[in-house]
């Protein structure tokens, strides 16, 4: 631009604004021409609006109906569907290993950035996009999620199991309906509080002083699922929040973490158990972690450590309340197992691995209602890749979803839309193939690092709930309501009755 032209623009705001509008219009026109005519993947079907921008996907997500719409898209258009100008969904179990398996070169898409800190150096394991940085960060804290550590966390689970069952006894005595998903999340949240910082959030005790944290996490997940479609906005929004001193969704979570960390380090509080905070501080003192490692690890635990657990427990209660014969079969198995234990102590996680029908129910619940509702987006690595018979150039955003794979009839059978735990017990080879296709906790190097903690809670509580109680939906055949953002949360009520435990089978 010449000096004369620059001077004219400076002295004529109207002309300057017009120039910006014209330039933006030209860029938009070129973008539309590329998307509609020049894009080498323009033949891939999908909604017409999805060829133009990310606004179609944003609209569906804002209406909290993405998983259902996603399934219908593939029913209408086939295995490969366009979701945005440079984003494609693939409904094919064969792509799980190349995209998500160990050794995959597919990096997480920019979509994940808004779920974490805009500074990539301080990203947590979920929002970290780079493959090498993610591996390095995971190695730092992997020991905290090992089976040895898992045994240290079991007392936290037992304590919360006892508290929840006491609450349920009250509901049973009153004959009152109770909000199952709400109480399952309260339970999971109190457990993760105990495991993370040595104290629960108090929800099972009837306290509401930390209710803003649950609300903040929901807002943060909603924010990430929407702004993730326009990730360039995330650092701008965070900067504006900093300038205006507006609290971000994670503000209350970080305040809770910092309060507990400072209290522990100054001796104001202490934990009699081996919780995460104790172990993280020890690793920092050994020079293996820094302050941000402690913060991001605890934040990830608290922000994402309760939803999958609460959702899966709610799924188990819902489907067994709808299928009395399956609930009774589980109870007969548990009663028989309990008679063989002859121990007054709570059932252990290791013991929970033995009852086959219990394990089949856990897997079927994780399959039929995955907690995650959106596309697990990845970027095609350098050199491009053929997926499901279609070549995708490098840099293109691709992925699949648990809601697509878990209902594939070629893997899970023609009755994949039915809750049928027995499918996991019919044939060992089929069971192995089904298990390798489960994406409830992700896959490969990106498998949720807290998977075993979640399974610890789900296994022990399911055993105890159906040993002690019978569940009945508020209405026979009730269909639950779903809130589908990043997590697919349920809404339904149930009644509960105490059963006689071991004596019930005699």
Domain limits at 291? 135-505
Please report whether residue 116 resides in a domain. no
Which CATH number belongs to the domain containing residue 244 in this structure?
A: 1.10.630.10
Residue of 314, 307, 398, 417 lying closest to 68 (CA atoms):
417
Q: In the predicted model, is pLDDT for residue 17 greater than 80?
A: no
Please report whether residue 2 resides in a domain. no
Please report whether residue 381 resides in a domain. yes
Q: What is the pLDDT of residue 503?
A: 47
Q: In the predicted model, is pLDDT for residue 37 greater than 70?
A: no
Give me 171's structure tokens.
């509901």
Please report whether residue 390 resides in a domain. yes
Please report whether residue 102 resides in a domain. no
DSSP 41-78: TTTS---GGGGT-THHHHHHHHTTBHHHHHHHHHHHH-
Please report whether residue 252 resides in a domain. yes
> Number of structural domains, the chain?
1
Kindly provide the residue ranges of all beta strands, DSSP E only, lying in 355-411, ordered along the sequence: 378-379, 385-387, 390-392, 397-399
pLDDT tens across 82-137, in order?
999 999 999 999 999 999 999 999 999 999 999 987 776 688 999 999 999 999 99
pTM higher than 0.85: yes
Please report whether residue 26 resides in a domain. no
Cα 355–Cα 151–Cα 135 angle in degrees, nearest 5: 105
pLDDT tens across 464-491, in order?
999 999 999 999 888 999 988 899 999 9
Q: What is the pLDDT of residue 342?
A: 80
DSSP tag of 407? T
Share of the chain above pLDDT 70, in %: 89
Specify which residues 469 forms β-bridges with. Answer: 498
Please report whether residue 49 resides in a domain. no
Exposure on the CB side of residue 258, measured as CA atoms within 13 A: 7
By the 8 A CB rule, do 81 and 415 touch? no
């Amino acid at each position: 631009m010449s000096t004369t032209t620059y001077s004219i623009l400076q002295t004529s705001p109207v002309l300057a604004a017009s120039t910006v509008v014209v330039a933006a219009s030209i860029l938009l026109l070129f973008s539309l021409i590329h998307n509609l005519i020049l894009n080498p993947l323009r033949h891939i079907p999908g909604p017409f609006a999805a060829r133009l921008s990310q606004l179609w996907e944003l609209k569906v997500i804002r209406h909290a109906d993405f998983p259902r719409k996603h399934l219908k898209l593939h029913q209408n258009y086939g295995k490969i569907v366009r979701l945005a100008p440079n984003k494609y969904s693939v409904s094919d179990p064969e792509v799980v290993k190349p995209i998500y398996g160990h050794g995959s070169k597919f990096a997480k898409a920019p979509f994940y950035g808004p779920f974490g800190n805009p500074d990539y150096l301080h990203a947590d394991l979920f929002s970290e996009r780079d493959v090498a940085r993610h591996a390095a960060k995971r190695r730092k804290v992997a020991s905290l999620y090992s089976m040895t550590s898992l045994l240290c966390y079991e007392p936290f689970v037992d304590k919360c199991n006892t508290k929840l069952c006491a609450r349920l006894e009250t509901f049973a005595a009153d004959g009152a309906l109770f909000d199952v998903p709400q109480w399952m999340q309260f339970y999971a949240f109190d457990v993760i509080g105990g495991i993370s910082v040595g104290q629960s959030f108090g929800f099972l005790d009837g306290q509401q002083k930390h209710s803003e944290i649950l609300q903040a996490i929901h807002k943060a997940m909603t924010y990430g699922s929407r702004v993730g479609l326009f990730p360039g906005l995330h650092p701008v929004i965070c900067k504006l929040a900093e300038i205006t001193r507006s609290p971000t969704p994670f503000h209350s979570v970080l305040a809770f973490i910092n309060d507990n960390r400072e209290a522990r380090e100054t001796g104001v509080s202490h934990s009699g158990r081996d919780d995460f905070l104790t172990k993280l501080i020890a690793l920092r003192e050994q020079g293996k972690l820094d302050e941000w490692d402690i913060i991001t690890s605890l934040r990830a635990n608290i922000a994402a450590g309760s939803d999958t657990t609460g959702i899966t427990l709610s799924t188990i209660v819902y489907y067994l309340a709808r299928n009395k014969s399956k609930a009774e079969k589980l109870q007969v198995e548990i009663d028989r197992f309990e008679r063989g234990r002859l121990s007054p102590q709570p059932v252990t996680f290791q013991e929970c691995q033995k009852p086959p029908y219990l394990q089949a129910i856990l897997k079927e619940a994780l399959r039929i209602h995955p907690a995650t509702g959106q596309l697990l987006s990845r970027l095609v690595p350098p050199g491009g890749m053929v997926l499901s018979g279609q070549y995708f150039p490098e840099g293109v955003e691709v992925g699949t979803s648990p809601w697509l794979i878990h209902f594939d009839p070629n893997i899970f059978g023609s009755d994949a839309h039915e809750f049928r735990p027995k499918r996991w017990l019919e044939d060992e080879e089929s069971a192995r193939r089904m298990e390798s296709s489960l994406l409830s906790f992700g896959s490969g190097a990106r498998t949720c690092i807290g998977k075993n903690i979640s399974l610890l809670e789900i296994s022990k509580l399911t055993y105890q709930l159906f040993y002690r109680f019978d569940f009945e939906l508020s209405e026979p055949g009730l269909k639950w309501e779903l809130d589908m953002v990043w997590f697919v949360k349920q809404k339904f009520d149930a009644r509960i009755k105490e059963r006689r435990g071991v004596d019930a089978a005699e």
